[in-house]
Structure 1
Amino acid sequence: MARSTPHDHPLTRGEPLYRRIATELLGELRGGTIPPGERLPGERQLAEHFGVSRETVRQALDLLRRDGLVATDRRGSHATLPGLPVETPDCLTFPVGARAARHGAVARATVTWEPPSPEHAEALGLAPHRPTLVHRYRSATADGRGRRTAVTSFSAVALAEVEELARYRDRADGRAGAQLRRAYDWMRRAGLTLHHRDCITPLPGTTSVRVTRRVHDQYARPLEITDLVVDDQREALVYEFTLPSAG
Structure 2
Amino acid sequence: MNEYFRSRFNRQPIEVISGDYYFGSDNDGDNFDKNDVDLWLNGVFKDRWDKAFKVEDDLLSYFFTDVLDVFDENPTPFMEIACGPGMGLTPIILSKYPDIVCLATDACSLLIKSWRQYINHDLKEFNIDLASFSAMDMPIKDNSLDMVTSFIGVSSTRSGEQGKIRALKEIFRVLRKGGCLIAIENEWSDIEAIKNVFQLWGRPMWAGMKEDTTWYEKFEKCGFTVEKTDKTFFRYLNRDDNELGEQADKYGIKIGLKFTLFILRK
The TM-score with structure 2 as length reference comes to: 0.26
Higher helix share: 2
Query: With structure 1 as the length reference, what TM-score do the two structures score?
Result: 0.28
- Of the two, which has the highest radius of gyration? 1
